[in-house]
Chains A and B, each alone.
Chain A
Amino acid sequence: SQTIHQWPATLVQPVGSPLSLECTVEGTSNPNLYWYRQAAGRGLQLLFYSVGIGQISSEVPQNLSASRPQDRQFILSSKKLLLSDSGFYLCALYRYGYTFGSGTRLTVV
Chain B
Amino acid sequence: QKEVEQDPGPLSVPEGAIVSLNCTYSNSAFQYFMWYRQYSRKGPELLMYTYSSGNKEDGRFTAQVDKSSKYISLFIRDSQPSDSATYLCAMNLQGGSEKLVFGKGTKLTVNP
The 5 closest A-B pairs by CB, nearest first: A100-B43, A43-B104, A94-B98, A97-B46, A44-B102
Main secondary structure of the interface of B (DSSP, over half): loop
Please name 19 pairs of A and B residues whose Cβ atoms are closer than 8 Å in the assembled complex, sorted by A: A6-B43, A41-B8, A41-B104, A42-B104, A43-B102, A43-B105, A44-B88, A46-B99, A96-B95, A97-B46, A98-B46, A98-B98, A98-B100, A99-B46, A100-B45, A101-B43, A102-B42, A102-B43, A103-B42
Band of interface residues on A? 20 to 34
Q: Using a Cβ–Cβ cut-off of 8 Å, how many residues does chain B contribute to the interface with A?
A: 20
Give the B-binding residues of A (Cβ under 8 A). 4, 6, 9, 32, 34, 41-44, 46, 49, 90, 92, 94, 96-103, 105
Give the A-binding residues of B (Cβ under 8 A). 8, 34, 36, 41-46, 49, 88, 90, 95, 98-100, 102-105
Q: Please determine whether A97 and B103 come into contact, CB atoms closer than 8 angstroms.
A: no
> Min CB distance, B39 to chain A, in Å?
10
> Min CB distance, B88 to chain A, in Å?
7
Query: In the complex, what residues of A have CB within 8 A of residue B99's CB?
Result: 46
